Structure 1
Amino acid sequence: MVLVFKTNIDTVSKVKRISAKLNKLFPKSKWNFDLEDCDNILRFESDIDIVKEVMILMKITGFECEAL
């Protein structure tokens, strides 16, 4: 399934701050940020529903995240 989130991650340096945590917590998922999109989209490809976990991680790390 593809999960899509609106975020406030708008720079490569912010992506670098969260990328290790995303890889560690979701090792079987593929993800990417679209910094060109006005909503700074985070897309996940995952076999399971991880919406709540992604939103909690983003909040704990100090970023905004909304499931679309």
Structure 2
Amino acid sequence: MITIFKTNISEEEESRVRQFLNLFKEILKVDFDFEDCDNILRIETVGDIASHVEIMLNSNGYFCKELL
């Protein structure tokens, strides 16, 4: 399953956010697109964990919203 999020994550914060995302064993792959105006975060997972990713990133000071 591939899920796409709009974020306010910058290139400088990428490594810190990857550490947070590494806590989810369901995530297979993480990609960022900083050239997009929405600072896209794209994750490939083995299940639907979008709400968990949003909650975790939002509670750590980032904006993260799934794009439907």
TM range (shorter): 0.7 to 0.9
Normalised TM-score (structure 1): 0.87
Normalised TM-score (structure 2): 0.87
Equivalent residues, number:
67
4+ aligned runs moved over 4 Å, structure 1: none
Task: Structure 2: state its 5+ residue gaps.
Answer: none
Aligned counterpart, 1:61: 60
Give the structure with the higher percent helix: 1
Task: Structure 1: state its 5+ residue gaps.
Answer: none
Q: Are the counterparts in 1 of residues 8 and 39 from structure 2 also a CA contact under 8 Å?
A: yes
- Taking only the aligned residue pairs, the percentage that are identical comes to 42
Q: Are the counterparts in 2 of residues 33 and 41 from structure 1 also a CA contact under 8 Å?
A: yes
